[in-house]
Amino acid sequence: MISRKLLKTFASKFITMTGINNFLLHLWNEHLTILSYHALCLPDDKKFSWISPAFVTTEQFESQMKFIKTMMNPVSLSQAVCHVQEKKPFPPKSVVVTFDDGYANNFFYGEEILKNFEIPVTVFLATNYIDSNKFFHFDMHRCIIDFINSKRITDVDFINKFNNLPDYKICSVYSFSKEIQPLWEQCQAMISDDHKRLLAPISSMQIREACSLFSWGAHTSSHAILSQLSPEERIFEIDSSVKAVIRITCNDFIPFSYPNGTIKDFSEFDERVLQDCGAACSVTTIPGKNTLNSPLYRLKRIRSVSINHTQEIFEMDVSGIREIFQ
């Protein structure tokens, strides 16, 4: 029987061959496309079972950057925001590259590729993690699952406690972090140099050393899904992260990205808080392209680029063809 994956690969190759992607890019010439990435790894790192699908290899990233440089017009997020504010048409086929969370690998694997193609990028930082020497709570969760699946953890009591953790996407980040922390401390001996290389958050020194193609935004302090918090906590998470990015970068154009970013994860309340604390705009994970009339605090992005996506799937996502069929 033909697998779903094979069918998808065949369909995406066929669509690319027909030139529909290029036709759609041309059709939506005046729209702004915002790409969403998270983390970069080397091609050989694909072997690690704990690598999240939100990673992209340097090989994939290079082909994707080559595609947008050749077929589109990469602009910075600040440039795109100016066009919306002034209602001045975007350069044709404008595209913005963004990274969420603030992994060090964005800098040490991404910088050379971005420099080669002269593509600007915005990295949204969960600011509590900068210089913290800590992994993101969702990476701790993923690593522990891997330790259990690979039988490196067999203690029944530990596994029961882990299985009873709440779902971090539907609870307060504070209570989840408090519960996972003691379990994580028991896993320290299992953390390898590869975990540290690929999962480490960026440091303030790397932020300062990065070339001028990098600009920086806020992504809350604790990587908090705002809709799971009280109004006071939401204000704190937004305000403190925006201030931290201003302090580290000495820049006052600070865009924001909502953690998780779906329509359920933030509200008009958060948009007002962002405006009050001087954030320039905010990106979501609501799929789609943007126009000059798009609301600045709920900009749409193309779904997160994944290590599992072929170049053809990437090109289909960028062209917007998925918006038609979904």
CB 18, min distance to Zn ion, A: 35
Q: Which is nearer to Zn ion, 101 or 271 (CB)?
A: 101
Residue 2, both tokens: 């033909």
Angle between helices 156-163 and 137-149 (to 10 degrees): 140
CB 39, min distance to Zn ion, A: 10
**All residues at 6 or more sequence positions from 230 whose CB lies less than 8 Å from its CB, including other chains:** none
CB 82, min distance to Zn ion, A: 25
- Residue 101 interacting with Zn ion (CB under 5 A): yes
Interaction residues for Zn ion, span 246-285 (CB under 5 A): 259
CB 124, min distance to Zn ion, A: 7
Contact 130, 153 (CB under 8 A): no
CB 259, min distance to Zn ion, A: 5
| Nearest residue to the partner Zn ion, using Cβ | 100
Q: Which is nearer to Zn ion, 21 or 36 (CB)?
A: 36
Measured CA to CA, the distance from residue 195 to residue 32 in angstroms comes to 35
Measured CA to CA, the distance from residue 183 to residue 204 in angstroms comes to 28
**Total number of residues shown for the chain:** 326
Alpha helix positions (H), 130-283? 137-149, 156-163, 173-185, 193-199, 204-209, 231-249, 268-276
Measured CA to CA, the distance from residue 179 to residue 165 in angstroms comes to 7
Contact 264, 291 (CB under 8 A): no
Q: By CB under 5 A, which span of 98-106, 185-193, 274-282, 289-297 interacts with Zn ion?
A: 98-106
Q: Which is nearer to Zn ion, 169 or 197 (CB)?
A: 169
Measured CA to CA, the distance from residue 126 to residue 112 in angstroms comes to 23
CB 255, min distance to Zn ion, A: 14
Measured CA to CA, the distance from residue 271 to residue 256 in angstroms comes to 10
Q: Give the Cβ contact number of residue 305 at 10 Å.
A: 24
CB 102, min distance to Zn ion, A: 9
Q: Which is nearer to Zn ion, 94 or 122 (CB)?
A: 122
Q: Which is nearer to Zn ion, 184 or 258 (CB)?
A: 258
- The correct pick among 37, 39, 74, 100 for binding Zn ion (CB under 5 A) is 100
Q: Which is nearer to Zn ion, 255 or 259 (CB)?
A: 259
Collapsing DSSP states into helix, strand and coil, what is residue 54? coil
Q: Which is nearer to Zn ion, 120 or 259 (CB)?
A: 259
* String of contacts with Zn ion for each residue 206-245, x by CB under 5 A: ----------------------------------------
CA nearest 123: which of 239, 53, 206, 233? 206
- Residue 139 interacting with Zn ion (CB under 5 A): no
Measured CA to CA, the distance from residue 164 to residue 212 in angstroms comes to 45
Q: By CB under 5 A, which span of 63-71, 95-103, 289-297, 299-307 interacts with Zn ion?
A: 95-103
- Note the maximum CA span of the chain: 61
- Residue 45 interacting with Zn ion (CB under 5 A): no
CB 249, min distance to Zn ion, A: 19
CB 235, min distance to Zn ion, A: 19
Q: Which is nearer to Zn ion, 259 or 288 (CB)?
A: 259
Q: Binding-site residue total for Zn ion (CB under 5 A)?
A: 3
Residues that bind Zn ion (CB under 5 A): 100-101, 259
